[in-house]
Structure 1
Amino acid sequence: MRNILLLTAALGLTGLAAQAQVDSVRASTLPPAQQAEKLYNSGVAKFNQKSYRAALQDFDRALALRPDFAKAFYNRATTRYELKDYQPAVQDYDEALKLEPASGTAYFGRAQAREALKQPAEAEQDYSKAVEANAAYAPAWYYRGALRFEKADYAAAKADFDQAIKADPGYAYAWHDRGSAQRQLNNYPAAIQDYTKALALQPELLPALLNRAGTKRRAGDLKGALQDYADYLQKKQDNPVAYTNRGATRYEAGDYKGAAEDFGRAVALDATYAFAWNNRAAAYLKLEDYQKAEADASKALALNPQYGEAYLNRGHAREMLRNPTGACQDWRKAAELGLEIGTNYAANSGCGEGN
């Protein structure tokens, strides 16, 4: 009986060992395509968690198992883009497009990588391929429009922004940038409408408020421009350009004291802002504070010795401070820098050889 019991126990152990061996084999023998899919899904999850290095490893392993896996090439390219590895990203998009030549998203991704590599012509070609593949994909129209805007082809840029808005009427940035294209084309009422629409869609899109202010100023609506500048500066007080532009608008409206205050805020934020120093000099000239005007123009010239307008303003200040020699020298320098009016000032003030 003991022998039988021992034999039964031995048989039981043998059965367990065999069962364990079968389970182990089943767990480790997924077909390569399924393993690649599993690694791909893991990579996507890690990408969504912004664990880009870990995602890259999973996509690498997936492609080692399945070299014709177009989605893995595409997502590895996207991951490399996030890691700022732009040239390898382009190479992965190339492979994805070999496998799926009609992939608009791959063309779009490659365009973005090529932009990052400072290859605007190649990027524009890829955006064109992307919109050919999918005319309803608004970002491709938008980014091609932005490239065309940068090379001053404003009519073509506007046409692209038109298409982006058609594809996605809620695309605030497309409305904003179409407004900028309209502004460059001198279509000020249309530009103002586009900036207004962008702000309705995205109220915190402050560049639209700033650009609408500038467009209203160009259109002669100084009151409207000043209101937009005030609204912008209430929300953002660290932009010296905004203060300078409001100062220029106040200057045009005859508020020279307010203009000088705004230019002062600009140079307080950026002491190297020669344009603001010179503008405040012009405001001080209007306020008949000639010593301050001379000092500000001199500061602008210390920052930019080739600043012709600053020589003109300092010349006027020096003339009023009874320094005709200095005034004549400044006006002649302005003329040397291409401002012919400097010659006129010098002649009208009787600047001779001795001055």
Structure 2
Amino acid sequence: MKTLRVLLILLCIGFDAFSQQAEPSPFQLAQEAFGQQRWEEALPLLDLWIQGHPTDQEAYWMRGQAHQNESKLEEALGDFSSLLTLNPQFAEAYFERGRVRYQLGHYEPAIEDFENFLKTPPGETNRVLYKVTPGSKGVSEVTTLQTVSAEQAYYHLGLCSIELGEYDFAILYLDEAIALDPEEPDFYAEKGRALARLGDNVPAIEAYELALSLNPDHLPAKQGLALVKTGGDEVLLGQLDQVVAEGSGNAQTYKQRGFYRMSHDQDQGAISDFGLAISLDPDDSESYFYRGKTYSRQKKWKEAEADYSAAISLEPENPEYLLARGQSRYVSGQLEEALADFTQTVVLDPDFASGYYHRGITYQRMNRKPEACRELQKAIDLGMEAAVGVWEKVCKQD
């Protein structure tokens, strides 16, 4: 009987111990809620756990992200800062705190965090970062990563530099990101934004188009491309006017305002602005190119050709500049000179459909039909739809 009583007591003790073992801790419950992205449910559990375990690094890590995803940015900032006080080598925390600081508009401290992240060896490979968008700043969405990578840090450094108006630095950082991951459209879209802010519209357009070639539905790239092609919005014009009025305008200011005016049919103002830009920076080929385009619109072919030639002398391997001068020469009747320019465009870029098209119409005007048809067919083969109608008119057999 005594033996039976002992066995029953042991069984009861064992059951109680099993029950105690089976009951999950607040941290385990928080982990489950966190893994299922139930942030609101995870937060009080983590609060309770941290009260009794104030040095638990993973708890601060999880709570910081839960706060972040609940848009409680100040609380998230406190969590990541506490974590980094406990462990200054927690690399991912620098990255996350940098993102929070970016969203709060603390750009310089955010830059320090991203730079510290790049200098700190990565931690555990199974830490998950959840998607957080930078807010209403009109920039691309931040990618979800299983482990944070250097290209994302460079990308965020670029974003911070754009907000600080340090566009040259932004382009350098974004180029680093592109070198590490050339398939990410966000990187090209933000580079386009930085270039557009500098007034470097041709490379900005190229960057936006590269972003769209990777993702045709990339909204920031679509919006940025539309703004650049129309010279920017009226808010930008007001800012440029204010800078000029304050006497602090530089070559880029005048070039950017000139581009806006050119895009809105304000030809005389555009020519004046491009002239001021050239006087301040005579080595910027774009200012000559844009002034040449404005002169061409006014049918001032001599002035246009002179500006295009100046642009070409500064950037002799730019097919767009050669095409523009060739077009100006074509409409003014200088067919041999125009043909030479169009020929040079396809020498520089054998896939430049517009170069073949313009060679074709120049040959046709020179009554050299076989050469015209050959060039037009080449333009069609490269996907230029405008060449089809001309080919059918000139080359199709009756």
Q: Shorter-chain TM-score: what band?
A: 0.5 to 0.7
**TM-score, length-normalised on structure 2?**
0.48
- 1:306-342 residue CA offsets vs partner (Å, 9 max, x unmatched): 1111112111211122211111111111112221111
1:238: Cα distance to partner? Answer: 1.0
RMSD: 4.5
The worse-fitting range, judged by mean Cα deviation, of 196-205 and 318-327 is: 196-205
User: Relative to structure 1, is the Cα distance of residues 278 and 153 closer, same or farther in structure 2, using a 3 angstrom cutoff?
Assistant: closer
Name the counterpart of 2:265: 220
Post-superposition CA distance 1:189-230 (Å, at most 9, x none): 322112222334562432121111111111111111111001
Matches within 5 A, 1:168-247: 183-184=227-228, 188-201=233-246, 203-247=248-292
Aligned equivalents of 1:325, 1:315: Cα separation in 2: 9
Q: 2:109 aligns with which of 106, 109, 114?
A: 106
What residue in structure 1 maps to residue 152 of structure 2? 119
Partner residue, 2:335:
290
**Unmatched segments (≥5 aa) in structure 1:** 1-68, 74-87, 128-138, 158-179
Aligned partner (choices 282, 305, 308) of residue 353 of structure 2: 308
* Percentage of matched positions with identical amino acids: 16
* Alignment partner of 2:296 out of 248, 251, 255: 251
Task: Name the amino acid aligned to 1:206.
Answer: A
Aligned to 1:348: 393
Amino acid in structure 2 at the alignment position of 1:324: K
Distance 2:275 2:383 in 1: 36
Distance (Å, rounded) in 2 between the aligned partners of 1:239 and 1:312: 29
Change (3 A) 1:114 1:291: farther
Aligned pairs for 1:1-355 (under 5 A) are 94=94, 104=106, 105-111=108-114, 118-119=151-152, 123=156, 141-142=163-164, 152=189, 183-184=227-228, 188-201=233-246, 203-352=248-397
* 1:270 partner amino acid: E
Residue pair 2:111, 2:157 contacting (<8 A) in 1 also: no
Structure 2 counterpart of 1:107, one-letter code? A
Letter of the 1:318 partner, please give it. Y
What CA distance in whole angstroms lies between the structure 2 residues aligned with 1:326 and 1:289? Answer: 18
The letter of the residue matching 2:110 is Y
Q: Distance in 2 between matches of 1:278 and 1:114?
A: 46
3-state SS of 1:271 partner = coil
- What secondary structure does 2:388 align onto? helix
Larger radius of gyration: 1
Q: Are residues 334 and 269 of structure 1, via their aligned partners in 2, closer, same or farther at CA, if it must alter by over 3 Å? A: same
Give the match for residue 63 of structure 1.
Answer: none
1:128-175 CA distance string (max 9 Å, x none): xxxxxxxxxxx7844699789966489x99xxxxxxxxxxxxxxxxxx
Change (3 A) 1:333 1:92: closer
**Aligned counterparts of 2:367 and 2:105: Cα–Cα separation in 1:** 73
TM-score (norm 1): 0.54
> Compared with structure 1, are the counterparts of its residues 114 and 193 closer, same or farther at alpha carbon in structure 2 (3 Å cutoff)?
farther
Matched residue SS, 1:233: helix
In the aligned structure 2, how far is the partner of 1:103 from the partner of 1:282?
48
Instruction: For 1:326 and 1:218, locate their aligned partners in 2 and report how far apart those are by CA, in whole Å.
Output: 36
CA contact (8 A) 2:261 2:269 kept: yes
317-326 or 295-304: which moved more?
A: 317-326
Q: CA separation of 1:198/1:290 partners in 2, compared to 1, >3 Å: closer, same or farther?
A: same
C-alpha contact (below 8 Å) 1:183/1:215 kept by paired residues: no
Structure having the higher helix fraction is: 1
| Structure 2 counterpart of 1:228, one-letter code | D
Unmatched tracts of structure 2, length 5 or more: 1-83, 120-149, 175-184, 195-223
Distance 1:259 1:185 in 2: 20
Distance 1:114 1:204, change over 3 A: farther
